[in-house]
Amino acid sequence: MKIILLGPPGSGKGTIAEKLAKDFKFLNISAGVLLREEVKKGTTIGKEIKKYIDKGELAPYKFVVEMVKLEIHDKKGYILDGFPRSVEQAKIIEDLNVDLVIYLEISEEKVIERFSGRRIDPNTGKSYHLKFIPPPKAIMGRIITRKDDNPKVVKERFRIYHKETAPVVGYYKKKGILKTVDAAPPPKEVYEAVKKIVKDFQKK
């Protein structure tokens, strides 16, 4: 099964993708995690990508598409988190024949409120939230705030989201494969709604 998770920054895509991957044994491919890994490696491409991430802009498509395609390779099922992020990217992966697109709908105000508690483990790339998804005690000493989670960059990420990514919602709606989930409740509740959609699809 091929699933795309869509939603604004901070809507919980990463968390939901991880849970789905664990429960349904799906391969989880996060564009943001792949890009951040490349940045961490300090490669020439990584250094280039960092400039975009730090500003909250979309990284050049050729890097993102190549990285995602390498991961997908010949796999039959996966979750794509954070990809596609524009109609242009969606058209590039049209031949993958995605089964389901889950749109995590949430207001900008609610997301900004959430951002203050968001943390990341620099060793694993895993995301946490001080209130909703508390990090294990053992890693408390090393968790950090994502550099692109500061209010100025978040504002830019939203601007880009509205301009580039929001039209992707309509693109998949027209194809009849979009399911919308209210992402404002606590993550556990949101996940239950997502899980039901996936289960119902599998029953078909």
Residues near ligand AMP, by CB under 6 A: 9, 31-32, 35, 52-53, 56-59, 64, 82-83, 85, 89, 148, 157
Q: Which is nearer to ligand AMP, 81 or 198 (CB)?
A: 81
Q: Report the residue closest to ligand AMP, judged by CB.
A: 32
- Least Å from the CB of residue 202 to ligand AMP: 26
Rg value, the chain, Cα: 16
Q: Which is nearer to ligand AMP, 86 or 135 (CB)?
A: 86
Q: Which is nearer to ligand AMP, 162 or 196 (CB)?
A: 162
Torsions phi, psi of 27, nearest 5? -80, 135
Q: Give the pair of three-digit tokens for residue 123.
A: 């060793």
Q: Which is nearer to ligand AMP, 2 or 157 (CB)?
A: 157
- Least Å from the CB of residue 198 to ligand AMP: 20
- Least Å from the CB of residue 76 to ligand AMP: 22
CA-based end-to-end distance of the chain: 12
Q: Give the pair of three-digit tokens for residue 66.
A: 């190549």
- Least Å from the CB of residue 148 to ligand AMP: 6
Please count the residues of the chain: 204
CA-CA distance, 31 to 35, in Å (whole number)?
A: 6
Under DSSP, the state recorded for 9 is T
- Least Å from the CB of residue 70 to ligand AMP: 14
Packing angle of the helix pair 31-41, 44-55 (nearest 10 deg)? 130
What single-letter amino acid sits at 61? Y
Q: Which is nearer to ligand AMP, 62 or 137 (CB)?
A: 62
- Least Å from the CB of residue 27 to ligand AMP: 17
Spell out a b/e string for 71-95, using b for 16 or more CB atoms within 10 Å of the CB, else e: bbeeeeebbbbbbbbbbebbebbee
Q: Which is nearer to ligand AMP, 83 or 191 (CB)?
A: 83
For 133, the 3-state DSSP assignment is: strand
Beta strands 78-81 and 28-30: pairing type?
parallel
